[in-house]
Amino acid sequence: MVDSSAGGKMSAHGGGGGRTRVGRYELGRTLGEGTFAKVKFARNVETGENVAIKILDKDKVLKHKMIAQIKREISTMKLIRHPNVIRMYEVMASRTKIYIVMELVTGGELFDKIASRGRLKEDDARKYFQQLINAVDYCHSRGVYHRDLKPENLLLDANGTLKVSDFGLSALSQQVREDGLLHTTCGTPNYVAPEVINNKGYDGAKADLWSCGVILFVLMAGYLPFEDSNLMALYKKIYKADFSCPSWFSTSAKKLIKKILDPNPNTRITIAEVINNEWFKKGYQPPRFETAEVNLDDINSIFNESGDPAQLVVERREERPAVMNAFELISTSQGLNLGTLFEKQTDSVKRETRFASRLPANEILSKIEAAAGPMGFNVQKRNYKLKLQGENPGRKGQLAIATEVFEVTPSLYMVELRKSNGDTLEFHKFYHSISNGLKDVMWKPEGSIAEGDETRHQRSP
């Protein structure tokens, strides 16, 4: 048994089938990747429960002097028990990494619905917006501000319930100054409040509500209220709140959105006022809260400066492609639709894609490396993973792509290419370009729809 309480020693035993084992958890495929962290699928080998584990690099945390803030944020997050916020279970550490064990949500992103089906009906948009406001309001009441609310952070569980991810963990590098305001400009520009761009300090609660207003607009309209290919032109539109609601918005919805997207944070509507708004209250169901005793000993122990080795987990890995179990394989498919297990490209732009191959894993990686080089990418190879780094600066920085090979059966592999930095549209173009040079690598099962036919099929009513 592995004891996660204070003083309990966490041991690791090498798992078979190319798995990495950390404490009681067996790590699987990477679900997401950012500057400071990556998120991996994992399974608790004692209970069989599937979870997600966020892995932070200790060196980067120390370099950016983030220890105190991360400890504070993680402690707060572990205390948050809300049906619309991703749950945090426990925290572990090895000598080089911090592991945050979280609830695994398998229903995909809310915005995948918009990408595939278009805008939502007003009643459906209101339901999701109510859940979003519930989550944001609850966390604000505990002093936690998201500061980077955007489509990637709105997930759905298997029952279609909205779950906000990365609350308090998405903007770890931000600091509150003596004036009580935040001063770091971050987030996705289209969703960021004007006072954040202004860089004169901002109230985290008011900035979060602005982002919620943009999200509500997108849910109902199917497009962004502020959009421009030129960044300065985009900022000018945001400063002036230069937008107009489409004709199909109800009058009461238009009024609420205009009150939320008020460029002056001092006159902007508050969350309390939103909750009392007549449009918002229609069909509103207040959330039920779970109150339970929470132990923070694991957080205190991993940040203990004495560095007691008994508190550390050991990470062990095996040099071969990770084996993907049936649940993981199915969970890669949107909405558990087995027809999309391996990517069939549509017009919607995604941050990851995957394909199947019958070739040996080493040969697959060699062919990807050979195809990426002439396209202006530097390639780093480790185990059965590649990191492709673009040489040219893109619209949102240099494009970086993480590639990993998973063994599905001894003669079938799944290859995943995932954007880890840069612009999603540029990644989309890269994939289409490189796939032309990988036609002898990609395998399609009999009866699969050709790429062009698939796009036409999905567009038809």
- Tens of pLDDT along 350-363? 677 888 888 888 88
Give the pLDDT of residue 51: 94
Long-range contacts of 254-261 (CB under 8 A, 24+ apart): 255/279, 256/280, 257/213, 257/216, 257/217, 260/209, 260/210, 260/212, 260/213, 260/216, 261/210, 261/213, 261/214, 261/217, 261/225
Is 440 a known active-site residue?
A: no
Give the pLDDT of residue 324: 63
64 pLDDT band, cuts 50/70/90, is confident
Give the pLDDT of residue 258: 97
CATH code for the part of the protein at 115-281: 1.10.510.10
Which region among 74-83, 160-169, 326-335, 436-445 has the lowest average model confidence (pLDDT)? 326-335
54 labelled as ligand-binding?
Answer: yes
Q: Residue 344: in which H helix or E strand, if any?
A: none
Of residues 112, 137, 148, 203, which has the active-site annotation? 148
Other C-beta atoms lying within 10 Å of the C-beta of residue 395: 12
How do residues 145-185 score in pLDDT, each as one tens digit? 888 888 778 999 988 899 998 776 654 434 444 444 433 44
Q: Which residues contact 293 (CB under 8 A, 6 or more apart)?
A: none
How far apart are the C-alpha atoms of 92 and 23, rounded to whole Å?
8
- Percentage of residues in the chain having pLDDT higher than 90: 27
pLDDT, average across residues 25-30: 88
**Residue 323 in this model has a pLDDT that exceeds 50:** yes
Q: Which residue has the tokens 């796939």?
A: 435
How far apart are the C-alpha atoms of 214 and 229, rounded to whole Å?
18
Per-position b or e across 338-356, b if 16+ CB within 10 A of its CB: eeebbbbbbeeebbbbbbb
Give the pLDDT of residue 31: 83
**Domain 322-443: which CATH number of 2.40.30.10, 3.40.50.410, 3.40.50.300, 3.30.310.80:** 3.30.310.80
Q: Among residues 414, 351, 364, 423, which one has the least CA distance to residue 394?
A: 423
DSSP H helix total and E strand total for the chain: 15, 15
Give the pLDDT of residue 134: 95
Other C-beta atoms lying within 10 Å of the C-beta of residue 187: 20
* DSSP result, 305-332: TT--GGG---EE--SSPEEPPHHHHHHT
Q: Among residues 349, 369, 342, which one has the least CA distance to residue 423?
A: 349
Tokens of 201: 């300090």
- Does residue 335 or residue 410 have the better pLDDT? 410
Q: Same fold for the domain at 115-281 and the one at 322-443? A: no
Handedness of CA 44, 92, 382, 422 (dihedral sign): positive
Domain residue spans in the chain?
115-281, 322-443
Contact 101, 42 (CB under 8 A): yes
Q: Residue 266: in which H helix or E strand, if any?
A: none
226 pLDDT band, cuts 50/70/90, is very high
Give the pLDDT of residue 262: 96
How far apart are the C-alpha atoms of 93 and 77, rounded to whole Å?
17
131 pLDDT band, cuts 50/70/90, is very high
Handedness of CA 272, 277, 279, 284 (dihedral sign): positive
